[in-house]
A and B are shown apart, each in its own frame.
Chain A
Amino acid sequence: MAERRREVHPPPLRRRISARLIPIWRRTNPFLTDYKVCMAFESLGENCEFGLVQRHFGAEPLGLLRFSGVAVHHLIDALDHDFEGVGRPDQTEVHLNTHGTEYFSVDARYGFSSHSMVFAEDATPAEAAARIERRARFLRQKMLEDLRSAPKIYVYQSGDDPPRADMSSLLAALRRHGPNRLLWVKPNPDAALHGAVTLLEDGLMLGHLDRPGKVGEDWAPSHTVWMRLLRRALKLSDRERAARLGL
């Protein structure tokens, strides 16, 4: 009798809270589409590789740094100063690429260099600058809002090998804004680890790629390995978050 009464009672409080922590689409759909997996992450640079991986899987999230090149110490500086001045005309340099076809922009304070996909045949330099600055102001506002609410896992992909301490500093800068998580992705020569994700510390994961995404002058990311590690990072992150809260 006592057993039957327990069955009809609502689930224990811990279980109910735990269930609310995991977005419904992750709990109820074990066959997450690649698109949704990609949309759960946001690129912080240092280059375009992850933005191109998202595009490959049909995901086109709006992100300030999605197609930007940025060094980690500049990124930390920008986070520490709330990306102050990004999109202001006096802080934004706009120039044509070496072929004279596409406008590029550089943030003079933080050193972000970005593709604009605004082409010389479509816009004068003044028109291009106005459009690029407007975009940057909008994306800065969105970035700050996302940093506070922390809906996504940030991805920092590095071709070279920044020290682990830099990634801890980057995570600390992200967490100054909200309960953010960071996935650091880099190539690893150990084939057994390709596609794997290691939890380095609370909120900081390391994803292991098989190779850099740039082959010669062209981008050719390792899409299958990327998708494997993104899925593992999502799973690991949910488990870690629940454990941190003692659930």
Chain B
Amino acid sequence: MTQAEIYRRLAEIFEDVFLRDDIVLKPHTSAADIAGWDSLKQIDIISTAQERFGVTFTTRDLDGLTCVGDLVRAIARRI
């Protein structure tokens, strides 16, 4: 799966989690850029990503996440 495809599918997950369709994901997008992105939303994003991409993240993966680009790389490593 290409990174572009991961971004596209991740954007759908963000739409479902934040109930908005105007979020543009870039590699440096972080919690500071999206209103309401708190720890519970983070759980929703990650747990949904696990199910939809069919991957399982380790605690080390999760502790290293600071932005969308990190999440995309973590998914790419696990696919």
Interface residues of A (CB under 8 A from B): 60-62, 66, 116-117, 122, 131, 134-135, 137-139, 141-142, 145-146, 149, 151
Q: Ordered nearest first, which 6 A-B pairs have the shortest CB separation?
A: A138-B47, A60-B39, A117-B40, A134-B47, A135-B43, A145-B59
Is the pair A135, B62 in contact by a Cβ cutoff of 8 Å? no
From B2-10, B22-30, B48-56, give the one contacting chain A.
B48-56
Assign chain B's interface to a size class: 10 to 19
* Cross-chain pair count, CB within 8 angstroms: 37
Judge whether B74 is part of the interface by a CB distance below 8 angstroms.
no
> Which of B38, B47, B56, B58 is A135 in contact with, Cβ under 8 Å?
B47
Bound together, the chains give a CA A151 to CA B29 distance in angstroms of: 28
Given contacts A142-B59, A146-B59, contact A131 B44 (CB under 8 A): yes
Is the pair A122, B19 in contact by a Cβ cutoff of 8 Å? yes
17 residue pairs A–B, Cβ–Cβ below 8 Å: A62-B39, A62-B43, A62-B62, A116-B40, A117-B38, A117-B40, A134-B48, A135-B43, A135-B44, A138-B43, A138-B50, A139-B43, A142-B62, A145-B58, A146-B59, A149-B59, A151-B59
Bound together, the chains give a CA A137 to CA B39 distance in angstroms of: 16
Determine the residue in chain A with the shortest Cβ distance to B37. A60
Among B21-79, those with CB < 8 Å from A are: 38-40, 42-44, 46-48, 50-51, 56, 58-59, 62
Bound together, the chains give a CA A145 to CA B58 distance in angstroms of: 8
Task: Return B68 CB to nearest CB of chain A, in Å.
Answer: 17
Bound together, the chains give a CA A142 to CA B65 distance in angstroms of: 15
Determine the residue in chain B with the shortest Cβ distance to A135. B43
Bound together, the chains give a CA A237 to CA B47 distance in angstroms of: 32
Greatest chain A CB density within 10 A among B19, B44, B47, B62 is at B47
Bound together, the chains give a CA A229 to CA B62 distance in angstroms of: 27
Task: Return B24 CB to nearest CB of chain A, in Å.
Answer: 22
Bound together, the chains give a CA A66 to CA B43 distance in angstroms of: 12
Bound together, the chains give a CA A62 to CA B42 distance in angstroms of: 8
Task: Return A75 CB to nearest CB of chain B, in Å.
Answer: 20
Task: Return B63 CB to nearest CB of chain A, in Å.
Answer: 9
Seed contacts A61-B39, A116-B40; 10 additional CB < 8 Å A-B pairs: A60-B39, A60-B42, A117-B40, A134-B47, A135-B43, A138-B43, A141-B56, A142-B62, A145-B58, A151-B59
Task: Return B56 CB to nearest CB of chain A, in Å.
Answer: 7
Is the pair B47, A137 in contact by a Cβ cutoff of 8 Å? yes
Residues in A with CB closer than 8 Å to B56 are 141
Residues in B with CB closer than 8 Å to A61 are 39
Task: Return A130 CB to nearest CB of chain B, in Å.
Answer: 10
Bound together, the chains give a CA A198 to CA B19 distance in angstroms of: 48
Residues in B with CB closer than 8 Å to A137 are 47
Residues in A with CB closer than 8 Å to B58 are 145
